[in-house]
């Protein structure tokens, strides 16, 4: 039986604050199952890296803009999301700066 993901501890790797009506930012989160690492990119550059315990499996749909807090969902995103892209497989560091530019990365 698969381990339930919601029992996993939460780790905040970065918090980015901007003024009202601030500049548009490009945020990417890449999970690499082969190395059990998560990288957080801001505007194409790595800003944080975290390791995850091996063997974590999702038990539900992809959720964007909120986190599980206690026994329910909360901590909603304060801002606007213009576009979300999801890929099967981990993108390479050199592919991330091109996300959002109208050119899809080569997943060769």
pLDDT in tens, 74-107: 777 777 778 888 888 888 999 898 887 777 777 6
DSSP-derived pairing of the beta strands 45-51 and 72-74: unpaired
Tell me how long the chain is. Answer: 108
Tell me what pLDDT residue 1 has.
Answer: 37
- How many whole angstroms separate alpha carbon 94 and alpha carbon 58? 27
Q: What is the pTM of this model?
A: 0.67
Task: Determine if residue 36 is left, alpha or beta; phi over 0 gives left, psi from -120 to 50 gives alpha, anything else beta.
Answer: left
Read off the pLDDT of each residue in 5-31 and give the average, rounded to a whole number.
66
DSSP-derived pairing of the beta strands 67-69 and 45-51: unpaired
């Amino acid at each position: 039986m698969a381990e339930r993901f919601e029992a996993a501890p939460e780790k905040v790797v970065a918090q980015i604050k901007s003024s009202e009506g601030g500049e548009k930012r490009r945020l990417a989160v890449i999970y690499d199952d082969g190395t059990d690492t998560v990288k957080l990119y801001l505007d194409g550059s790595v800003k944080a890296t975290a390791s995850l315990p091996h063997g974590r499996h999702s038990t539900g749909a992809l959720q964007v803009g909120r986190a599980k807090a206690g026994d329910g969902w909360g901590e909603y995103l304060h801002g606007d999301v213009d576009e979300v892209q999801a890929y099967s497989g981990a993108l390479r560091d050199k592919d991330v700066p091109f996300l959002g530019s109208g050119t899809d990365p080569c997943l060769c």
